[in-house]
């Protein structure tokens, strides 16, 4: 997972709901700014009911006309049944907030059987997101819960639905007197931009610990691991009682940085990375913005790899490269604040391509200078070296800027790139980074895989200790 993973435990339920409302507003406003609408998939059950009531009664206007509500799962019952998720969400949120009927995408339980209901729901999702065959929707936000048995959505430990990889939605039959269900599948959930688990009550303490800290593969909730989105666990004090770190557990990631001036070196590093990670950053340099010129953009477009990757455009004209680099494995585009470009227009263009958009900031640029643009980017990448070459010296003064950015922008992905070493990981961790990009200390000297695993091990040690 490339995005951040965070666990927060709240002693005060009101503060938990306040935080979640603020998070909803932040995610929705960014989605609406980029695409004109916000997509969310909601879960049923008793846990989120109070949050839905609070959200519906928010005094500050929420743009419900630009909000499209989907459902994570549903029991195969009439929509008036007391066990219906649709009924609960409608009564606690949709009716009160006045969400337009055309923006409510419910699971059709008036069909002859749950299989047909799942097929219809899948068709509805594909139509809304304009998916081609095999495509996956990217919800802006999916809200989940965790059952006592570790299930999430209607993905139960004993159900074949957990292993479904092609369908967007599938039927779940549990037998006995338990209602059949329809659920979103794991590939859909893991493709979301943001995933939030809401977990409350002392009966959930043990399973939450097993999901968050043991990461047990036997528990379907542990299989929620977004490929590039953020994952957030929000718990009350009872549910979080057994967690090692009550204030928050951060898992900082290591992303190998591929900088290559010729094609052979480029391919070598990509193939090396394929053996030990699923995500890399590819540096693109034009010889103008920085002195070095990297492998040609068309080589990146034609790259066939099992990796997902982001590109860091150290170029004077990033807009042309955003249009030129086309690759299904590309997930994020980061360009420089200092480039000669219409920043907001380019951020919007990247978002329209269903890619994450990031802003890179050189060491000499202050937050005061770039803050107005930075607030519109999902990722902020801080260079802790002067860019363009492997092995440039680390600039420690930038760390204060990173910590200040974390304070100002708590919901953004914060990245440090350049000069990262085992020795400075601790100060970067404490500053609040979500992932670090490491180039020369992975690919130059010794085994790249061994070097990578040293960074992972050190970050795991810091996660447990701090």
Question: What's the pLDDT score for residue 245?
Answer: 45
The model's pLDDT over 306-321, given as tens digits with 9 standing for 90+, comes to 899 999 999 999 999 9
Tell me if 6 sits within 8 A of 249, measured CB to CB: yes
Question: What's the pLDDT score for residue 4?
Answer: 64
Q: Does residue 324 share a domain with residue 234?
A: no
Q: Does residue 278 share a domain with residue 168?
A: no
Q: Does residue 285 share a domain with residue 198?
A: no
Q: Does residue 297 share a domain with residue 153?
A: no
Mean pLDDT throughout 322-331?
Answer: 94
Rounded CA gap, 86 and 107, in Å?
8
Q: Does residue 201 share a domain with residue 134?
A: yes
The model's pLDDT over 159-213, given as tens digits with 9 standing for 90+, comes to 899 999 999 999 999 876 678 999 999 999 999 999 999 999 999 998 998 898 7
51: domain range? 5-250
One DSSP character per residue, 93-158 reads IIHHHT--GGGEE----SSSSHHHHHHHHHHHHHHHHT--TT-----SEEEE---TTS-BTTB-TT
Q: How many CB atoms lie within 10 A of CB 178?
A: 11
- φ/ψ (deg, to 5) at 67: -110, 125
Q: Report the domain count for the chain.
A: 2
The model's pLDDT over 230-273, given as tens digits with 9 standing for 90+, comes to 899 999 999 998 875 444 456 799 999 999 989 999 999 999 99
Q: Does residue 405 share a domain with residue 387?
A: yes
Q: Is the pLDDT reported for residue 289 higher than 60?
A: yes
Instruction: End-to-end CA distance of the chain: give it in Å, rounded.
Output: 21
Q: Which of 250, 267, 289 is the last residue of a domain?
A: 250
Q: Is the dihedral of CA 314, 316, 318, 323 positive or negative?
A: negative
One DSSP character per residue, 319-355 reads HHHHHH---TTEEEEEEETTSSS-HHHHHHHHHHTT-
Q: What is the pTM of this model?
A: 0.58
Residue 85 is encoded by which pair of tokens?
């998720």
The model's pLDDT over 200-209, given as tens digits with 9 standing for 90+, comes to 999 999 899 8
Q: Is the pLDDT reported for residue 390 higher than 70?
A: no
Q: Does residue 458 share a domain with residue 360?
A: yes
**Separation in Å, CA 76 to CA 109, 111, 171, 180, 259:** 6, 9, 9, 5, 52
Q: Does residue 152 share a domain with residue 13?
A: yes
Rounded CA gap, 414 and 433, in Å?
5
The strand pair at 181-184 and 73-75 is best described as: antiparallel
Q: Is the dihedral of CA 153, 154, 156, 161 positive or negative?
A: negative
Tell me if 225 sits within 8 A of 2, measured CB to CB: no
Mean pLDDT of the chain: 91
Q: Is the pLDDT reported for residue 277 higher than 50?
A: yes
Q: Does residue 406 share a domain with residue 319?
A: yes
Q: Does residue 191 share a domain with residue 65?
A: yes
Q: Is the pLDDT reported for residue 25 higher than 70?
A: yes
With 0-12 / 13-18 / 19 or more C-beta atoms within 10 angstroms meaning exposed / middle / buried, residue 206 is middle
- Report the CATH number that the domain containing residue 447 is assigned in CATH: 3.20.20.70
The model's pLDDT over 93-141, given as tens digits with 9 standing for 90+, comes to 999 999 999 999 999 999 999 999 999 999 999 999 999 888 999 999 9
Tell me if 146 sits within 8 A of 197, measured CB to CB: yes
**Separation in Å, CA 43 to CA 70, 125, 290, 384:** 9, 16, 48, 41
Question: What's the pLDDT score for residue 447?
Answer: 93
Question: What's the pLDDT score for residue 248?
Answer: 42
Q: Does residue 267 share a domain with residue 357?
A: yes
Q: Which of 250, 279, 302 is the last residue of a domain?
A: 250
- Report the CATH number that the domain containing residue 159 is assigned in CATH: 3.40.50.1360
Q: Does residue 259 share a domain with residue 245?
A: no
Q: Which of 270, 172, 187, 267 is nearest to 227 (CA)?
A: 187
- φ/ψ (deg, to 5) at 160: -60, -20
With 0-12 / 13-18 / 19 or more C-beta atoms within 10 angstroms meaning exposed / middle / buried, residue 28 is buried
Rounded CA gap, 136 and 404, in Å?
36
Question: What's the pLDDT score for residue 134?
Answer: 83
Q: Which of 231, 250, 269 is the last residue of a domain?
A: 250
């Amino acid at each position: 997972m490339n995005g951040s993973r965070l666990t927060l435990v709240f002693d005060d339920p009101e503060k938990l709901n306040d935080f979640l409302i603020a998070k909803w507003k932040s995610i929705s406003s960014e989605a609406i700014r980029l695409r004109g609408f916000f997509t969310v998939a909601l879960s049923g059950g008793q846990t989120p009911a109070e949050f839905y009531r609070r959200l519906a009664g928010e005094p500050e206007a929420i743009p419900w006309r630009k909000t499209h509500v989907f459902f994570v799962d549903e029991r195969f019952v009439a929509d008036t049944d007391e066990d219906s998720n649709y009924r609960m969400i409608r009564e606690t949120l949709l009716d009160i907030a006045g969400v337009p009927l055309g923006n409510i995408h419910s699971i059709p339980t008036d069909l002859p059987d749950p299989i047909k209901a799942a097929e219809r729901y899948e068709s509805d999702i594909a139509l809304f997101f304009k998916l081609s065959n095999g495509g996956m929707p990217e919800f802006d936000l999916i809200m989940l819960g965790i059952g006592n048995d570790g299930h999430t959505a209607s993905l139960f430990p004993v159900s074949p639905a957990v292993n479904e990889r092609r369908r967007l939605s599938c039927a779940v039959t549990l037998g006995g007197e338990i209602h059949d269900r329809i659920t979103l599948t794991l590939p859909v959930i893991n493709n979301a931009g943001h995933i939030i688990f809401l977990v409350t009550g002392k009966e959930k303490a043990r399973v939450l610990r097993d999901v968050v800290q043991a990461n047990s593969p036997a528990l379907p909730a542990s299989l929620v691991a977004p490929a590039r989105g953020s994952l957030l666990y929000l718990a009350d004090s009872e549910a979080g009682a057994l967690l090692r770190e009550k204030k928050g557990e951060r898992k900082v990631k290591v992303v190998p940085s591929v900088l290559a001036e010729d094609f052979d070196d480029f391919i070598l590093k990509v193939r090396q990375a394929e053996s030990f990670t699923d995500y890399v950053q590819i540096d693109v340099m034009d010889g103008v913005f920085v002195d070095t010129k990297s492998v040609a953009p068309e080589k990146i477009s034609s790259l066939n790899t099992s990796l997902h990757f982001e590109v860091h455009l150290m170029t004077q004209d990033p807009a042309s490269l955003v249009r030129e680099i086309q690759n299904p494995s590309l997930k994020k585009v980061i360009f420089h604040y200092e480039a000669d470009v219409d920043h907001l227009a380019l951020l919007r263009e990247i978002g329209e391509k269903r890619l994450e958009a990031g802003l890179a900031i050189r060491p000499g640029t202050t937050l005061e200078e770039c803050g107005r643009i930075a607030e519109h980017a999902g990722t902020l990448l801080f260079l802790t070296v002067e860019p363009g070459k492997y092995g440039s010296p680390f600039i420690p003064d930038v760390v204060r800027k990173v910590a200040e950015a974390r304070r100002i922008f708590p919901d953004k992905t914060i990245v440090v790139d350049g000069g990262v070493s085992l020795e400075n990981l601790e100060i970067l961790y404490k500053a609040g980074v979500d992932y670090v990009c490491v180039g020369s200390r992975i690919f130059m000297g010794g085994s790249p895989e061994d070097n990578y695993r040293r960074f992972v091990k050190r970050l795991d040690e810091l996660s447990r200790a701090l």
